[in-house]
Amino acid sequence: MSKSRRQSPVIPWIGGTLIWAYMSILAHTMRWKVEGIENMRPLWEGPQGWVAATWHSRILLMPYAQIRLRPKWKKPPHPATLMVSPSKDGEFTKRAGTWLGLHIIRGSSSGRSDKSKRGVSAARESMEVMKKGGCIVMTIDGPKGPREVVGIGTIKLAQQMGVPILIYGLSANAKRMDTWDRLLWPRPFARGAVVIPEPIPTSKSMNSEELRLKVELALKAATARADELAGLAPDTAPPPSPKQKQETEAAESADAPQAAASSQAAIEPALEPRAT
């Protein structure tokens, strides 16, 4: 494929539409087992903002709530919002999310410094959504991993707004793809599972790293339970090495002063009262 064709907006439009169609087929045809859905509904219908967190490998299963539950529940104060990577690959996810009826924000949950106006704008948009009672949906180890390691960015964003983080454990009896995240690729009519424990509260006074670890352990436990319900065999691929984790932590630590300044620049205008 030529470079001009790869850059054409038509390609993401077609690709994203096909992804949306496949997600819809999965949501409607899979045989779902669900635990803890009562922990999601009060947040969905309530006035408080919140964050829904799952792993990047489960992205094809994420629309379960949007497709199966949204028609049955009270309309939320603000449409569910998906945080999508600003990369070219994110264009496909953006199109699929738009077809699903999601509000789209281009940004990242990794927590690494983004000096661009896009990064500051994404933080501001996210906070505005949560101020209106909306949900921010994030693949919390995306967009580049390490696999199943929670990024600090989502944690700090939730803390700034004092909103709960809802663990969204997803699984299916599916093939694991040879990708960095070990993407699950389920087939229609496969067994699927959703496990949602009680929301994790956040506040500015909490230790961010301790909270990040709490969220990571909770999501791993919920995912393991979902794997059990769906009949998914344990992954034989090795987990991210300590070196990978150390490199990620070192990069985030090095970026911390710049990230804090960027976050503060976005937070202050978003929290200021506005004239009506």
pLDDT digits (tens, 9 = 90+) for 136-176: 999 999 888 899 999 998 999 999 999 999 999 999 999 99
pLDDT digits (tens, 9 = 90+) for 242-275: 555 555 555 544 444 444 444 445 444 444 433 3
What type of residue sits at position 230? A
Burial of 98 (0-12, 13-18, 19+ CB in 10 A): middle
6 CB-contact burial (10 Å; exposed 0-12 / middle 13-18 / buried 19+): exposed
Least confident of 120-129, 131-140, 165-174, 192-201: 120-129
Higher pLDDT, 80 or 269: 80
Kindly report the number of other CB atoms within 10 A of residue 238's CB atom: 6
Read off the pLDDT band of 240 (50, 70, 90): confident
Euclidean distance between CA atoms 170 and 145, whole angstroms: 18
Three-class DSSP labels, the chain: CCHHHHHCCHHHHHHHHHHHHHHHHHHHHCEEEEECHHHCHHHHHCCCCEEEEECHHHHHHCCHHHHHHCCCCCCCCCCCEEEECCCCCHHHHHHHHHHCCCEEEECCCCCCCCCCHHHHHHHHHHHHHHHCCCEEEEECCCCCCCCCCCCHHHHHHHHHHCCCEEECEEEECCEECCCCCCCEECCCCCEEEEECCCCECCCCCCCHHHHHHHHHHHHHHHHHHHHHHHCCCCCCCCCCCHHHHHHHHHHHHHHHHHHHHHHHHHHHHHHCCCCC
Phi-psi region at 147: left, alpha or beta (left = phi > 0; alpha = psi -120 to 50)? beta
φ/ψ of 138, rounded to 5, equals -135, 140
CA proximity to 149, closest of 246, 62, 236: 246
The ranges assigned to domains in the chain are 31-232+240-271
pLDDT classification of 54: cutoffs 50, 70, 90: very high
CB 131 within 8 A of CB 54: no
The pLDDT value given to residue 270:
45
The dihedrals phi and psi of 88, each to the nearest 5 degrees, come to: -65, -35
CATH of domain 31-232+240-271: 3.40.1130
113/238 Cα distance (integer angstroms): 28
The sign one gets for the Cα dihedral 116, 118, 121, 122 is negative
Mean pLDDT in residue range 197-211: 98
The pTM for the full model equals: 0.82
The whole-number pLDDT of residue 258 equals 46
